[in-house]
Structure 1
């Protein structure tokens, strides 16, 4: 099948990143203990570092052994999204069923979300910001597959969202028209 956009990443890459973070934590602890604390050691800090190291190494081993694939494909008729790391999400959609992609950012905690809205009103969250994909190429492929899809004005622009109570407070204060 001919794809307009195809992205694949294996979890072994994330395993190596987590392993490097575990190594960096050990080096930072050793450096801080040697050069900043003059060989003084707090058993609580040491215990916390050991627990975090074990957790990071466990996650690294798990990701290495599982080795699943994160995959995004856009063809003339189909949008395929598979993300085994975040809830075993797998979407297989007809490109004509997609209404828009929305990028929102919470005004309170700055968490960014990427939402795919279908013509039937259902919404699916895509976690592609975690994988360093070429969003512009994916958006261009979606537009090529279905010119009616509404896309964000830019890959960098996220719409601000606020909780309902915050909207009411801002309206009473005259901040929102």
Structure 2
């Protein structure tokens, strides 16, 4: 079963010289692959879900269907959480920029974006309260101050920790999308 949200489109890697290598630019795309930390956490969640499902089957075989239903519901919640974890990140299309977090998805149209730039600043390490020096991709919107907005992505989040070249490629691609659609 193909999981299109798990892998980045191959065209981003195949066409390094072309920033927007797509014919269908209305489709939402993630311009990078999910990082090993994000994929590893999702894999551990799915492994935990398999154990919980196995426990649910054993509980159902013993005749306690109410308890089995609760356990199956828990397994379903773990699976949905793992899939949402894999879907997190930055997505681009001709319509705008979409920032998908675990609970909230924010979509900003290109008409509101005035700039997308990479800055050197303290960033959160894997989303934890600890901060380290790194790079962040920050949007600037027409109606909001840049200091009010969270960074789109950083060099120390779950997608780019230890993958600085991948961060640079993804930041350059998102900046190219922003430059293309701010002109239009």
TM-score normalised by structure 2 residue count = 0.42
When Rg is computed on C-alpha atoms for both structures, the one with the higher figure is 1
Whose strand proportion is higher, 1 or 2?
A: 1
> TM-score scaled by structure 1?
0.43
